[in-house]
Every structure is written in C-alpha cells, then in structure tokens.
Amino acid sequence: MNRPFNMPDEFVDGLMKAGGSLWRSLGGAANGERDGAVLGSPLDSSARIAQLQADYLKGLYQLSEHIIKSSAGGQGEAAVETSRGDRRFNATEWRDNSLCSTLKQYYLLNSRYCIEFVEALDLDEKEKHRLRFFTRQFVEAMSPTNFVATNPDVIKLATDTEGQSLKAGLDNLMTDLSKGNLTITDEAAFEVGKDVATSKGAVVFENELFQLIQYEPATEQVAARPLLIVPPCINKFYILDLQPANSFVRFAVEHGLTVFVVSWRNPDASCGHFGWDDYVEHGAMRAIEIVRSISGADKINVVGWCVGGTILSSALAILRTRGDQSVASVTLLTTMLDFREPGDLGVFVDEESVRQREQTIGNGGIYRGAELGFVFQTLRSKELIWPNVINHYLKGKPPERFDLLFWNADVTNLPGPMYCWYIRNMYLENNLRHPGRLTMCGTPVDLGQVDVPAYVLATVEDHIVPWRSAYRTTSLFRGDTRFVLGASGHIAGVINPASKNKRSYWVSDERCEDPAAWLADAEEKPGSWWNDWIAWLKPQAEEHRPARAQLGSNLYPPGEPAPGRYVKAKAN
C-alpha cells in the first residue's frame, strides 16, 4: 500500500495499536475494571487522571489570569515557559506579540497535559512506550509553528514576498509528494566520490554482497595489524568518510593504520534472497579473511557500527567457536547485542507486525530504504521532519546543504529475508544474548566466546541504540572490555572529529551490572572519544613497519578507485 512520504505499515499499525491502548485504558479507568495485561490498577489511574485534570484546570486559570494582566499592561513572566533547548519559539513575536504568546502558551500547556496523561495511565510498559511515542508525534505535529496561519515568521515572509514564499513552498510540497519523500537536504549539493567519500583508495575485492575498499597510507610507517571497518548495511559507509575534516577513515589512516572498509551493496530485486547468514559469512567473515590475506598480518583489528557491529559480533563468536584466532580486538560503535530495551524502534515491533513482514518479504523481496528512512526520521521528528516542513513548504526555502543530512537521505534497501530474521531474532525475541539459542552459518552462537579486547562506545542521547542497552555488551563478551559513553546521539556522537575537540565523553575502569552505577562513578573528559580510542588501539596494532607502495595483493589486486560503484547505487 502506497502512502505519502513512504509511511510504512509498521508506523500505521503502531499508531492504530496506540489508539487501541488509549481507548481500553480510558474505558477501564472509567468503569473501575481490570484488564490483566493492559490495566494495572484502574482506580489508581483514575485518581491520577483526576489530579492531572485538576492541575490542568489550574494551569488554564493561571494562563487566563496572565493574559488578562498582560492585556491591561501588566508585566511578568509567562505562565507557561518553553523547555530548555526548544528552539521552535525563538522568534521575538512569540514573546512580544500577545496573540502569539498566548497561542504558544496554550499549546505548551496542552502538550504537557497530553504527555502527562499518558504517564498517568496503567499500561503494560511496552504499550505505554508505544502510546508515549505516538503521543509525542501528535504533540510535535500540532505545534503552531507548523501552520501558515499561526507562524509569525511565515506570515511576515509571505507578506514581504507578496505571497511568493507560499507559492514556492507549495511547489516544493507538490514535488515531494510526486517523489514520495520529504526533502531534508539539498540532494544535489554533494556527489559521492567527489565531495564526500573522498579518501584515496581502491576496491580490492567484491562479491554480490559487498565491495572491500583499502585506503592509501598517509604515513611512511604503518601498524603491522590492519583495521577492518564493518559499517551498518542499513546505511552507506561514507558516514565514516564524509569530508576530510570529519572523516574517521582519514583519522585512522593519519595515525598509521592500514584501513579497510566494507561497502555493502544497495540491494535491488536480484538480491531479495539474501539472509542474515549471508551478511555474516559472505560479508563480515569473508572480509576478515581477505584483509588478513592482503596484509599478511597474524591478526587484524575490527570495528563495527550499529547493525554492522551486530553482524561483526556474530561473525566473531562463530570464528572463536571454530578456533579461529585471526582477530586481535573489536571496537563496537553504538551497537546493540542485548535487545531487551530497544528504545523507540521497539514501538514498531511485535509478533503481528513481524509475522506480516515475514509473509510478504520473508521468503524473498526487498524492504525499501525509503520506508526505513521514514521510521528513522520519526525518531527525531522535532529535528528532522518539522523544521524541514516549515522551511521547505511554509517558507518556500531551498533545502540546506549539509553533508550529514545528505548521507541521511541517501537510503539503502534491505533484503527481505535478512530483515525479517534480524527483526524477529533480535528486536522481538532477543535471542542473540542467550548462548547457543541461535545457529548461524551452521555454528551455535555464543557471544561469550568473544574473548578479545573490546572497546564499546555508546552515546548518551542515542535514539536508536539506547546507551544502557549498549552497555550490556560488557557482560556478554569474555575479554577485557573498555566502555566509553560519548556525548550527543547515534551519529553526531560517533562522528566527533578529534581535530575540533568538541563535546565530551565518560570513562571508568569500574564494571557494574547497573549502567546507572557505572555512570555515577565515571569521569567526564572533554573532547572527542577518537583520541581515547586510538590510544587504546595502539597496543593491539603491534609494531610498525614500512607502508606498502601498492594496494591489494597478487591474489586481490586493486580495481576501481574508492569509493567504488556499490556505494553510488541509489535505492529504487
């Protein structure tokens, strides 16, 4: 079923289920009835709702009193203030214009009531999380800043341009409706291989699933053990090589590492049969084998990010079980291996939704990247959706030029069998954390077999991999593990160039079962975690030797120049 802006079935189904939870809760609370799995204590819920309504009426009275005083020339603070960091109401009109100020405060009061109302309900935690998520979507969509008639900036611009801004915005809207995507950046501003993904190198291997890129050395001496990076197959690898100033690849190369990166193929209909085992065996494990062959090293160091880290960890567990000692250390960047608390993505996953996907694409087919992209945008709708709606449709402005958003909009498909297996066994059933429960590539998987040194990075504001979930990796691996918590979110927290020395990170040598206890003991350090990581990695990289003049080897000669053609393929 085609919907505007590639709204996936999971989003619509989740919205309907959230509404159902709300309806049952209100009915149970009103009747004083208990509905085992849904309601906990309806009488307590009724009391909380009654108190909440009383507080709401009090807030309305205080706001009305404030409006009356203001209209009479009185002074004083607003009755309802915006929360810290909320930039939607920064325009002076929202403060100085009485009508705009009143509208803003009524919206904030009602928004607070909606959010607190959900918290007052007696619901199963999974249902409450779903209702909380979709309530937030509704609250953010209803902001007066999102409508022409109630946004003073939009009205002023329309007046100044004699309506041309509104006409341009309507043209932008019609263009986006015709292509089915919300434009979040200038998609013509960058060219892969020219403006982004510009580090010098060559493709030294490819199969149906990925191309392996080796990068040219930047130092006369390089570490004996090379570095292999396995990025997420849900996105393209060049987030790690955007531009020279914020390229993780360039940083690693400049610190004397021989760097290889897996560039996953953007699947089309011909790839609809690939499963999870293919990504583990013919992806990560094959790349490890080839990197070791080309380098001639005794062992290699590996990095995995997000689902790339999940694939890589599965591969390592299999290799260690088989007695393979070819990996010296592993670094996991915002990766989840224990899915008991999957964050907001969990609102889209239940038995019914997974079974529906299995019936449609589980045995063959493609999960479209545009649908997945819409889901990720809703996780940060206040930053990724509504500002673009305002600027692009209401103000008629062209989209901004931003390399990270360009990458974000460059979506990738996923093979249906791989996606369905991943969602069921990770998000729905959380099987990976249980030793031997899953068999991959003919081998029972036990993450406890991973006994190499591990560097585990999480980020405090991560909306995709909650940092507390990433922390649980420390109890799954058996080797010495260093856990680091970076500032910011899933992307900006990882791409935090050492040269800019921004943000901060937390470290502690203590190991606790409770993530909160770890954080309470952790020390905050200024700057980028990149510097901490490279210092940790150096002992695992062994001694240095002269850098090779040629990439690849006789068995795996260099082919097309980096970044290769796989990364340039667009999702259909």
pLDDT in tens, 381-429: 998 899 999 999 999 999 989 999 999 999 999 999 999 999 999 999 9
Is residue 147 domain-resident? no
Per-residue pLDDT tens digits for 512-541: 899 999 999 999 999 999 999 999 999 999
> Which amino acid, one-letter code, is at 483?
F
Q: Which of these three, 96, 115, 142, is where a domain ends?
A: 142
Q: What is the pLDDT of residue 36?
A: 39
* 134 and 229 part of one domain: no
Q: 70: pLDDT confidence band, cut at 50, 70 and 90?
A: confident
309 pLDDT more than 80: yes
pLDDT band at 3 (very low <50, low <70, confident <90, very high): low
Report, as an integer, the average pLDDT of 260-276: 97
Phi, psi torsion values for 369, nearest 5 degrees: -65, -30
Q: Which two tokens stand for residue 374?
A: 């819409």
Instruction: Output the pLDDT for position 86.
Output: 87
> Residue 13, class by beta-carbon neighbours within 10 Å (0-12 exposed, 13-18 middle, 19+ buried)?
middle
The yes-or-no verdict on residue 31 having pLDDT over 60 is no
DSSP-assigned states of every residue in 172-191: HHHHHHHHTS---S-TTS--
Gap between the Cα atoms of 210 and 217, Å rounded: 22
Boundary of a domain, candidates 142, 165, 182: 142
For helices 9-31 and 42-71, angle between their N-to-C axes, nearest 10 degrees: 100
Structural domain including 18 reads: 4-142
pLDDT at 74: 56
Q: Which two three-digit tokens encode residue 446?
A: 């036990």
Cα–Cα distance measured from residue 166 to residue 159, given in angstroms and rounded to the nearest whole number: 10
Answer for the pair 180, 253: CB distance below 8 angstroms, yes or no: no
pLDDT of residue 78: 66
Active site residues: 306
Do 206 and 96 belong together in one domain? no
519 is a domain residue: no
For residues 312 and 448, membership in a common domain is answered with yes
Whether 475 maps to a domain, the answer reads yes
pLDDT band at 77 (very low <50, low <70, confident <90, very high): low
Percentage above 90 pLDDT, the chain: 75
Residue 166 domain-assigned (yes or no): no
pLDDT, residue 26, reads 63
Could you tell me if 130 and 236 lie in one domain?
A: no
Q: How far apart are CA 179 and CA 373, in angstroms?
A: 14
Structure tokens at 163: 């309506």
Q: Would you state the pLDDT for residue 73? A: 63
Most confident of 94-98, 182-186, 459-463, 509-513: 459-463
Whether 122 maps to a domain, the answer reads yes
Cα radius of gyration rounded to whole Å, the chain: 26
Q: Looking at the structure, tell me whether residues 366 and 498 fall in a common domain.
A: yes
d(CA 189, CA 404): 12
Residue 131 shares a structural domain with residue 223: no
Same domain, 233 and 127: no
Q: Are residues 325 and 469 in the same domain?
A: yes
Instruction: Please count the structural domains in the chain.
Output: 2
Q: Does 395 lie in the same domain as 285?
A: yes
pLDDT for 2 equals 52
Is residue 176 in some structural domain? no
Burial of 52 (0-12, 13-18, 19+ CB in 10 A): middle
* Pair (133, 219) in one structural domain: no
Per the CB < 8 A criterion, the answer to whether 93 and 145 are in contact is no
Per residue in 191-225, pLDDT (tens digit) is 999 999 999 999 999 999 999 999 999 999 999 99
Residue 316 lies in a domain: yes
pLDDT at 48 over 90: no
User: What pLDDT, in 10s, does the model give residues 281-293?
Assistant: 999 999 999 999 9
Pair type for strands 443-444 and 523-526: unpaired
Instruction: Output the pLDDT for position 15.
Output: 73
In the prediction, which pLDDT does 255 show? Answer: 97
Domain boundary (121, 142, 163) is at: 142
Task: Name the DSSP letter for residue 229.
Answer: E
Query: Would 178 be classed as within a structural domain?
Result: no
Its pTM stands at 0.92
Q: Strands, DSSP E only, in 339-386?
A: 366-367
What is the per-residue pLDDT for 150? 96
pLDDT of the residue at 464: 94
166: part of which helix (H) or strand (E)? helix 164-179
pLDDT on residue 427: 97
Residues 422 and 539 in one domain: yes
| Joined tokens for residue 201 | 């190198």
Range 243-260 average pLDDT: 97
Residue-level pLDDT at 76: 53
221 and 95 part of one domain: no
Label residue 5 by pLDDT band (50, 70, 90). low
Q: Which tokens go with 564?
A: 């290769």
Residue 180 predicted with pLDDT over 70? yes
Q: Which two tokens stand for residue 104?
A: 């803003």
Q: What pLDDT is attached to residue 45?
A: 76
Dihedral, CA atoms, 362, 368, 371, 372, nearest 10 degrees? 80
Of the two residues 20 and 243, the one the predictor is more confident about is 243
CATH of the domain at 402: 3.40.50.1820
